[in-house]
Amino acid sequence: MPTKLLLTMSQTTHNPPDTSGLELLLFEIPQSFLLQLGTASTMAILVAQKATSETFIALGEASEELFRGERLPILDFPEPLKPQD
């Protein structure tokens, strides 16, 4: 008896409905296009993040150069008076 039950269960197949995309009112966007769109935007964000970080690093180095002692004028300070014995 159990073999009959196994045969009938294996013969019946369940076909899920085909939902392979985003269904809108008049058309459907395939999942592969959505995946490509998501991948491209993620890659663009990563490239923009790298460029932005390099720009901020360069800006920080330029501001350090601005306040470095080589570019500041030399100021004349009076010598402290030494006490005479």
At 52-80, the pLDDT tens digits run 999 999 999 988 887 776 656 777 888 88
Residue 21 CB-density burial (10 A; 0-12 exposed, 13-18 middle, 19+ buried) = middle
pLDDT tens, 14-39? 655 555 777 877 788 888 888 999 99
In a domain? residue 49: yes
Residue 61 is part of which domain span?
43-71
Q: Strand, helix or coil at 29?
A: strand
The total domain count for the chain is: 1
* Residue 42 phi, psi (nearest 5): -65, -40
In a domain? residue 77: no
In a domain? residue 35: no
In a domain? residue 81: no
In a domain? residue 29: no
In angstroms, the CA 67 to CA 77 distance is: 20
Contact between 65 and 71 under an 8 Å Cβ cutoff? The reply is: yes
